[in-house]
Chains A and B, each alone.
Chain A
Amino acid sequence: MRCEEVRGRLDEWVEGALGERQKEAVAAHLAGCDDCRAEARELEALLAAAADLPREIRPPRELWAGIDARLGDEPSPMVVPLAARRGPRRAGLPAWAMVAAALALVVVTAAVTTILTRNYDEAVALKLRRAGESAPPTAARDEDVPGADEARFLAASQELLAGLEAQDLSPETMEIVRRNLEVIDAAIAELQVALDRDPGNGELTRMLLATYQRKIDLLEQAARSGEG
């Protein structure tokens, strides 16, 4: 067998899914080819690492309760049973390549997070600077887009802040608002950095949205001072 043929069957080889004759042929090739043997060993290590990952990551209780309530009993018309969608198996990336890609993604994410959080204060300062930059006034209202809630909170707070400035409140009131917005924005920046380190953490996401809500509350409270 040639190297290309062997590498095309390596994922089945490590999974023990090859027939007897093919298994013997691959084994014979690997015995005499250092490159293919190294690749096979790498693949076995990747699969072993993948096997150590938790079988499932359950969302926190309170997050799941919200999702569960939204799901309801009736199947959504948007959801097509998997069996109905599964057609003939198409040739694509082999399983080991998918696993390798997933692990590579984890490694890259971890590396980026390490760099980002090497100096925690710098990362928070960066988040604060970004928060200060103008975001689009109207965020996309797409329930499925991750961060859509955050975008909506951002848009709402910018709208309220603009309304507050138009109300022509006293400089003393605006100073109180500014000081407290700084406190809230610093908290939001810290939560965003923490979420960068642990993107799937439902509790952190909930805390972030709750802190945005506090910002909205503050702006609404300030707006009341201008009401007659």
Chain B
Amino acid sequence: MNGQVRFSRGGLVALALCVLAAVGLTSTRSVAQGRVERGLAASADATIRIYNLSGSTSISGWDRDSVAVVAELEPGAGRFYMAGHEAIKLGVEPPTAGTTAGSARLEIRVPRGSVVWVKAADASIEVDGVEGGLDLYSVSGSVRVRGAPATVRAESMEGAIWIEARTPWLRAKTASGSIDLAGEVSDLAATSVSGTIRVVAARQARARIESVTGEVIVSGRPTRGGAWEIETHSGAVTLALAPDTDAEIDVHTFGGEVRSTLGRVLNRRTDDLAGSDWSIMAGAGGTSMTVRTFKAPVTIRPAR
């Protein structure tokens, strides 16, 4: 005996099959070329950073202490990676930094209480049922959120943002993408440069909406006691509110036309240089809504 172990050809084949079977039994499993399924134990309130430049990233919260990912990678999309426990990083590493030749579709399940951070270039981002904080950023992809997250920060330079959520704090920002917000949001701020902003008023205690040339449309019935501030440079502002809305609405515009068919006009003043000031009382008042524009038309009317 010289200490060496010798295998017969049949033994080597059997060993190879055992190795393959062991790999198949682990949580990581390559099912087919370009498709990756992977699972990882995670704390219930894990912080998860997700990075996927191109394609789509869909995240949903579930009641398990683990993260599960199905990734479908086009050729040239890059390499999938995932690591961590309390702080998890996962995503697709592009072949060259910052650019990718193919897109990746990620379907990710995370513990419901996770804090989730997502970064994308043209990939869309969709989040549903996550109750921790969300920080979502895409350059030109869309961002969609549903559920009751602790906080939401959603940004896209050119993509649309669509959020229907119950959350105490929400910030949505685009350059030319549109913003659609609905749900119960205590503290809301939406900003765009040229994108349209549509907000369904509900239980907002404070709402601030700003655009440069983007149109602003507020509909619904704002809850009494709330404070709304809307400001545009030349983006038309429409308040299409429930006919039984209780609000004091103050409008100031330097060059825009004001039209109101809701409530009573209490005061109206026009000056060539200082512009127009309108005070309108809808119902019994109680919600403060202030609209300021440089030269945009302002329309206040009952919702149809």
Contact = CB atoms under 8 A, between A and B. Distances in A.
- The answer to whether A and B assemble together is yes
B273 A184 contact: no
Q: Mostly helix, strand, loop or mixed at chain A's interface?
A: helix
Interface string B21-63: 0000000000000000000000000000001000000000000
Given A170-B98, A176-B139, A218-B175, A187 B213 contact: yes
B252 A180 contact: no
Interface in A66-84: none
A82 to B, nearest CB: 31
B254 A194 contact: yes
Q: Mostly helix, strand, loop or mixed at chain B's interface?
A: loop
A207 B193 contact: no
Nearest to A181: B193
Interface in A182-228: 183-184, 187, 190-191, 194, 197-198, 201, 203-204, 207, 210-211, 214, 217-218, 221-222, 224-228
Nearest to B138: A225
Given A170-B98, A170-B99, A207-B233, A225 B212 contact: no
Nearest to B293: A207
Contacts of A222: 157
Contacts of A225: 121, 137, 139, 157
A180 B194 contact: yes
B112 interface: no
A187 B155 contact: no
A179 interface: yes
A226 B275 CA distance: 42
Central interface residue in B157, B176, B191, B252, by most chain A CB within 10 Å: B157
A138 interface: no
Contact of A176 (B98, B175, B213, B274): B175
B296 to A, nearest CB: 11
Nearest to B212: A187
Given A180-B194, A187-B234, A210-B210, A224 B274 contact: no
Given A217-B173, A221-B175, A225-B137, A173 B273 contact: no
Contacts of A165: none
Contacts of A183: 193-194, 212-213
Contacts of B295: 190
B210 A221 contact: no
Nearest to B231: A210
A172 interface: yes
Interface in B245-295: 252, 254, 273-275, 292, 294-295
Given A176-B139, A210-B210, A187 B176 contact: no
Interface string B190-213: 010110000000000000001011
Contacts of A176: 139-140, 157-158, 175-176
Contact of B191 (A197, A201, A217, A226): A217
A129 B191 CA distance: 27
B157 A211 contact: no
A214 B193 contact: yes
A201 B274 CA distance: 8
Interface in A155-177: 168, 170, 172-173, 176-177
A49 B252 CA distance: 30
Interface string B136-147: 010110000000
B228 to A, nearest CB: 15
A28 to B, nearest CB: 46
B215 to A, nearest CB: 13
A198 B274 contact: yes
A221 B294 contact: no
Contacts of B121: 170, 173, 225
Contacts of B294: 187, 190-191, 194, 207
Which 5 pairs across A and B sit closest by C-beta, in order of nearness? Answer: A180-B175, A187-B233, A180-B193, A198-B273, A225-B139
Interface of A: 168, 170, 172-173, 176-177, 179-180, 183-184, 187, 190-191, 194, 197-198, 201, 203-204, 207, 210-211, 214, 217-218, 221-222, 224-228
Interface of B: 51, 98-99, 119, 121-122, 137, 139-140, 155, 157-158, 173, 175-176, 191, 193-194, 210, 212-213, 231, 233-234, 252, 254, 273-275, 292, 294-295
29 contacts: A168-B98, A170-B98, A173-B139, A176-B139, A176-B157, A176-B158, A177-B157, A179-B176, A180-B193, A183-B194, A183-B213, A184-B212, A187-B213, A187-B294, A190-B294, A190-B295, A191-B294, A194-B254, A198-B274, A201-B274, A203-B252, A210-B231, A211-B212, A211-B233, A214-B210, A221-B157, A222-B157, A225-B139, A226-B98
